[in-house]
């Protein structure tokens, strides 16, 4: 097998050759087979009699320094000096040609290159000025076709399921179903009913479980499995490099929101059943410890990491944050939950009783958010400006290279040590950061609790107005409206220029309000469609939603094994990666369905 040349290796090789023989014509050949996913081939032709350097910067990289791409010697006679390099195609690039002697800018251009395309740029002098002329040697492919095909296939399967369910409910099909599944064929008795001695039909008792909440949890978990497996290699199924949002950035906050809703519903139910607050305290403590231990010793590491060493063990993590968030929310409910929420009719504050009755929780959350704001924007960080919330590295013109995450990153490195936090943050590739930063760090956990508290408000609305569907939906819509407006104000409807940019790595306040907005909208829509109207039973998402711990732990531990993962023959193709990731996700949904049918539910 031929060794593959990475862009970095190719750049070093080209630079070394040019430094040694600048007067010769340097040609670096890269074939189509050398290009990987989300890469294009760019060939620079230098027709100038002096050396040039090509620099680039991604438009997604906020206020970043230009980085050297390739160096070319002068033309030889009538022959240009040329070199080829693989470039990334995920974001628009700004390229600039600089004269090596004198550091003079000659020309520049912006372009979003297409995957697997071959491009040429001719740097030449015309009428006394230098121009950079672009041309396409080979047209790029449409990398979104596999995604479109996958969406069509999934849509067709969903349509077939809906059609099958509709036909199953028709009397003409019920006749044949009863013929095969019922003993008494002559009376066409429905299999789901039983008849007593008086001839009365009794259907199965309707479950009081909120199907929409299980479906929301399962939808979030299914999306989490898909993005954790790679999301087909598409950048928007991965986390944003720093500020901004991708599809993957919605998943964990939805989970935290659901935890808050579940805590409000479950603890109220247990108190009504007579469970003491001491028992609740023991239960929530045990669950927190188990989640934390699973996260530290199983989720953070896999077979590829080798033997675990405490010298480099990562302490924070997804389950650790979920566990601690659950602990604080559950502790608040243990102290403040009401056994009886009736009997307050006629009071002046009755329209907002779901808020007034829990004023101690509100006071705690407000103080917690003030604490987050104070640490984030007022805490002095060595060699960094106060209130800095950028990625460091080459951002901000490279002025603060070691300030990744500002106070949040500094607190983690100070409390836990650099070797015990995440060493490969999402900003590392684009912003060239060198210090570790953990997206599940200590300071961000405060806003994770705030996110869960928003979910608790959804649970309280469901409790207080359980027989008034209109009131529930209106309050959900009002919460979504308020949080959406607050998000727009804090972020100024921009990615990087807001008062507090939307940032998943920091779990910024604007990120919380934006995720809260989407959570109220989604849960409200599912509640109306599933629990109120009964138009949808939540399949297939309800199955992983009722076995979330099993699916999450299972997909993390077994994700590197067949049939969830295998070596791809065509690593440059989104189609192969997408098929693998969709299949792995579908298998976990099927496993969850199998467990559901056998009434196996893993609980802590």
Distances (CA, A) of 66 to 45, 261, 484: 20, 46, 35
Structure tokens at 505: 């790595």
The alpha carbons of the chain give a radius of gyration, in whole angstroms, of 29
**Contact between residue 514 and residue 451 where contact means Cβ atoms under 8 Å apart:** no
**Nearest Cα to Cα of residue 584 among 563, 566, 569:** 563
Give backbone dihedrals phi and psi of 54, rounded to 5 degrees, phi first.
-105, 125
From CA 322, how far away is CA 291, in angstroms rounded?
A: 8
**Contact between residue 325 and residue 507 where contact means Cβ atoms under 8 Å apart:** no
Beta bridge partners of 46: 81, 123
Distances (CA, A) of 334 to 257, 275, 282, 359: 18, 11, 11, 14
Structure tokens at 464: 């207080």
From CA 347, how far away is CA 366, in angstroms rounded?
A: 25
| 540: preceding bond cis by omega (within 30 degrees) | yes
Give backbone dihedrals phi and psi of 241, rounded to 5 degrees, phi first.
-55, -40
**Contact between residue 100 and residue 43 where contact means Cβ atoms under 8 Å apart:** no
From CA 112, how far away is CA 383, in angstroms rounded?
A: 36
From CA 207, how far away is CA 209, in angstroms rounded?
A: 5
DSSP string, 50-109: S-EEEEEEETTSTTPPPEEEEEE---BTTBPEEEEEEEE-SS-EEEEEEETTTTEEEEEE
Residue count of the chain = 604
Catalytic, 239? Answer yes
**Contact between residue 413 and residue 314 where contact means Cβ atoms under 8 Å apart:** no
The residues near 479 (Cβ < 8 Å, ≥ 6 apart) are 454, 457, 458, 516, 520
From CA 523, how far away is CA 531, in angstroms rounded?
A: 11
**Nearest Cα to Cα of residue 366 among 457, 446, 460, 257:** 446
**By CB neighbour count within 10 A (0-12 exposed, 13-18 middle, 19+ buried), where does 418 fall?**
middle
Q: Where are the alpha helices (DSSP H) in 295-383?
A: 318-336, 353-356, 359-378
**Contact between residue 257 and residue 455 where contact means Cβ atoms under 8 Å apart:** yes
**By CB neighbour count within 10 A (0-12 exposed, 13-18 middle, 19+ buried), where does 107 fall?**
middle
- Which residue out of 45, 118, 239, 574 is catalytically annotated? 239
Residues labelled as active-site residues:
239
């Amino acid at each position: 097998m031929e060794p593959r040349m990475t862009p970095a290796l190719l750049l070093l090789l080209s630079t070394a050759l040019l430094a040694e023989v600048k007067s010769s014509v340097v040609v670096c050949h890269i074939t189509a087979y050398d290009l990987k996913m989300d890469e294009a081939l760019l060939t620079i032709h230098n027709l100038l009699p002096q050396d040039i350097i090509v620099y680039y910067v991604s438009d997604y990289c906020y206020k970043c320094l230009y980085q050297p791409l390739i160096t070319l010697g002068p033309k030889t006679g009538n022959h240009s000096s040329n070199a080829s390099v693989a470039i990334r195609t995920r974001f628009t690039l700004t390229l600039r040609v600089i004269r090596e002697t004198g550091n003079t800018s000659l020309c520049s251009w912006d372009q979003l290159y297409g995957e697997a395309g071959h491009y040429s740029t001719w740097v030449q002098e015309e009428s006394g000025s230098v121009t950079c002329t672009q041309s396409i040697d080979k047209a790029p492919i449409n990398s979104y076709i596999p995604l479109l095909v996958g969406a069509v296939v999934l849509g067709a399967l969903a349509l077939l399921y809906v059609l099958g369910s509709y036909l199953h409910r028709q009397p003409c099909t019920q006749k044949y179903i009863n013929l095969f599944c019922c003993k008494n064929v002559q009376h066409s008795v429905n299999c789901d009913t039983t008849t007593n001695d008086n001839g009365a039909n009794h259907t199965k008792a309707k479950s009081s479980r909120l199907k929409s909440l299980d479906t929301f949890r399962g939808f979030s978990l299914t999306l989490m499995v898909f993005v954790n497996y790679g999301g087909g290699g598409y950048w928007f199924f991965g986390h944003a490099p720093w500020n901004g949002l991708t599809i993957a950035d919605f998943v964990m906050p939805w989970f935290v929101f659901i935890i808050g809703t579940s805590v409000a519903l479950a603890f109220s139910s247990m108190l009504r059943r007579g469970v003491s607050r001491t028992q609740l305290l023991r239960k929530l403590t045990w669950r927190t410890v188990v989640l934390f231990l699973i996260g530290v010793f199983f989720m953070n590491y896999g077979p590829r990491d080798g033997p675990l060493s405490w010298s480099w063990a990562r302490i924070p993590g997804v389950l650790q944050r979920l566990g601690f968030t659950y602990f604080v929310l559950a502790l608040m409910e243990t102290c403040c939950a009401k056994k009886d929420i009736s009997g307050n009719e006629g009071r002046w504050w009755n329209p907002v009783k779901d808020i007034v009755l829990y004023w101690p929780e509100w006071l705690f959350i407000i103080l917690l958010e003030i604490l987050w704001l104070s640490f984030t924007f007022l805490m002095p960080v060595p060699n960094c400006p106060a209130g800095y919330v950028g990625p460091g590295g080459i951002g901000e013109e490279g002025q603060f290279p070691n300030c990744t995450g500002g106070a949040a990153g500094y607190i983690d490195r100070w409390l836990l040590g650099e070797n015990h936090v995440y060493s490969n943050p999402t900003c590392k590739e684009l912003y060239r950061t060198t210090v570790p930063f953990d997206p599940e760090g200590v300071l961000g956990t405060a806003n994770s609790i705030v996110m869960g508290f928003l979910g608790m408000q959804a649970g309280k609305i469901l409790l207080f107005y359980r027989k008034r569907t209109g009131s529930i939906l209106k309050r959900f819509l009002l919460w979504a409206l308020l949080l959406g407006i607050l998000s727009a104000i804090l972020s100024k409807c921009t990615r990087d220029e807001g008062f507090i940019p939307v940032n998943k790595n920091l779990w910024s306040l604007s990120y919380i309000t934006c995720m809260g907005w989407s959570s109220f909208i989604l849960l409200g829509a599912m509640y109306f469609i599933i629990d109120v109207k009964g138009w949808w039973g939540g399949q297939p998402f309800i199955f992983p939603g009722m076995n979330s711990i099993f699916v999450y732990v299972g997909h993390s531990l077994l994700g590197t094994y067949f049939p969830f993962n295998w070596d791809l023959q065509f690593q440059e193709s989104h189609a192969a990666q997408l098929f693998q990731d969709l299949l792995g996700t579908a298998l976990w949904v099927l496993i969850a369905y199998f467990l559901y049918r056998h009434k196996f539910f893993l609980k802590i």
